[in-house]
Structure 1
Amino acid sequence: MKKLLSTAIIAATALVGAEASATNYSLWIHGRNGNTTKAGNYADFSYWGPSTTAAGINKKSVNWNGTQRISVENYRVRDALDCFCTGANWCYIAAHSAGNLQIGYALSMYGGSARYKKNAVPSSTGVCGNTDGTTQVGWNIKWVDVASGAGGGSELANMGDWASSEPLTSDLVTSTARGMYNHNTTRSKWFYMFAGAKGTLYSGTLPGQDDEAVAYHSTGGVASTGGFCNPGDWFCDGTLNTGTSATSNGVAKWSYHTVSLRDDGESYDHYAAGNWAGIVGPVRADMAAYAY
């Protein structure tokens, strides 16, 4: 309901003095990927699945080197936001795993800065030209859908279970991810969290419920680490509640973070598998239904 209301208000506001060329875009920001996609190519959906699959209006894939540190590669995300989310144009954002860190970092660190209004015509490197030389503060973003967000890091990085040679692994250490930027500073953009729980392989490393890569404390946007679970599960610190409510033991979520999907049926793992699979599936369906 909040998402529908937010979209309706923005749409109505945009009608007042809007340019005839105003366009909405759906930007997809991937996570850790071994640098298998072409950075700057907004048509390369190989990380996600078939590009013909419905995934929101005018969808664009925001590709970056998914082995490198967030701060090093964040300019790729900012280039995309400048291209498609300035001037008369608006964006819906979908992010997966470390893509959560990328959009969170961009908004917190740069969302209050002056951005040149761009023409949505990218070069081969993913950079768009200026329209009239004027600027605006931040970007025109309606909301952010997050599949298995790694904004709070992963204990797999803490324990060295991922390739230590990848610089991104250092950023995914829970203390590093949580201290990288102020997660409460979203520029009033809502983050809708989709948390998967089909985790078995690393159940001894990840606390509480997990999707084999990231635990509920991160995927649920909880402001502190802990072992959070589905209702009725034993040996947990508390239940991850849906919506904006704190966990059952009183740990708050970050500001403007709400849990849209808690995987009570333990049906969704972490992996898109090149076919819009796992927890990416419900986010794709949400974008197809509401990003218009």
Structure 2
Amino acid sequence: MKLLRTIVALCLLAAAGMASATNYTLWINGRTGGGAIGNYNSWNYWGLSTAQAGVNKKSVNWDGRSSVANQSALIRNALDCFCTGNNWCYIATHSAGDLILGYTLANYGGSARLRKNAVANSSGVCGNAGGSQAGWNIKWVRAAAGSGGGSELADVGAWTTSEPLVQDVKTSTARAMYDHNQTRGIWFYMYAGAAGGLGSAILPGQDDGVEAYHSAGGVSGSSGRSLCNPDDWFCNDLRLGTETNQGGSTKWAYHSVAFRDDNEAFSHFTEGNWSGIVAVVRSAMVSFAR
């Protein structure tokens, strides 16, 4: 009888632990920012807060102008809050959000993290839930117009050069900033837009007006290269999935092209309404982040 009571008690404890597990969907903004830092329900950067964007969605706001190293602590606060203990996260990024998340995982993804209770104060810091763990519980990442490979617009000074983030987003700097192959085994699914724009004259190959395919497609190497859609005969193809691109270039480890804008329909910009390539990622988060 005593053994039976012990087994029942253990089962109840296990059931209670399972019941407290929650999945969250984190959205990490890019350059310019706009959401209130520390407020995970501030969606100014993205669009209407009522839009569906994945289970238990949270907006991880950083200023979008300071250096990646300076702002990484804000990303770590959010990951600690919602992606530790029994809780798991799906993550969506836009533009420089890809760069700052990649930097954070490579440099801090193996560190000891205090488990948090997912209840944040006004600074975006959550209370302790007891215990610690190595890194964070992240199912996968979907990156819209990822800037892990940098942008040639930063190289030529198309944006104000006094902005620290612009220095970080230079192609050579972004690619040397951290080990892009070190994702802690977490898959980055890349979404590359090709609607172009005023910046297209500067950007190599297909682009969304800010990020060329080499960056948005998670292509490895020390510098950018010209990559295009299959219909473009004068440029090597960015290939889907983890397949080696035409011409021999490869993706970083755990990076896979989930969407290539063959119809050249999606730009870089959210326009405060979940627009551009972000619209494609939002649709994917609604479908798969559950």
Q: How far, CA to CA, are the matches of 2:269 and 2:173 in structure 1? A: 23
Q: Which residue of 1 aligns with 2:226?
A: 227
Residue in structure 1 matching 2:82, options 66, 69, 84: 84
Residue in structure 2 matching 1:105, options 103, 109, 116: 103
- What is the one-letter code of the residue matched to 2:259? L
Q: Which residue of 2 aligns with 1:66?
A: 64
Q: Shift of residue 18 of structure 1?
A: 4.2
Q: How far, CA to CA, are the matches of 2:217 and 2:17 in structure 1? A: 36
Within 5 Å, give how 1:176-191 maps onto structure 2: 176-191=173-188
Q: Shift of residue 211 of structure 1?
A: 0.3
- Is there any run of 5+ residues in structure 2 with no aligned partner, and where? 1-13
Q: Which residue of 2 aligns with 1:126?
A: 124
Q: Shift of residue 71 of structure 1?
A: 0.4
In the TM superposition, what whole-angstrom CA distance separates every residue of 1:3-52 from its partner, at most 9, and x where no partner exists? xxxxxxxxxxxx9994321100000000001x432111100011001010
Q: Which residue of 2 aligns with 1:203?
A: 200
RMSD: 1.2
Q: Which shifted more, 199-208 or 118-127?
A: 199-208
- Provide closer, same or farther for how the CA distance between residues 118 and 180 of structure 1 changes in structure 2, counting only shifts above 3 A: same
Residue in structure 1 matching 2:39, options 28, 31, 41: 41
**Would you identify which runs of 4 or more consecutive aligned residues in structure 1 move more than 4 Å?**
15-18
Compare CA radii of gyration and give the structure with the larger one: 2
Q: Which residue of 1 aligns with 2:143?
A: 146
1:215 aligns with 2:212: yes
1:286 aligns with 2:284: yes
Residue in structure 1 matching 2:261, options 260, 263, 266: 263
Q: How far, CA to CA, are the matches of 2:24 and 2:167 in structure 1? A: 32
Instruction: Give the alignment's TM-score, normalised by structure 1.
Output: 0.92
- What is the one-letter code of the residue matched to 2:170? V
Q: Which residue of 2 aligns with 1:6?
A: none
- Secondary structure of the residue that 1:283 maps to in structure 2? helix
Instruction: Give the alignment's TM-score, normalised by structure 2.
Output: 0.93
- Secondary structure of the residue that 2:143 maps to in structure 1? strand
In the TM superposition, what whole-angstrom CA distance separates every residue of 1:84-142 from its partner, at most 9, and x where no partner exists? 0000000000000000011101110000000000000000000001111x110000000
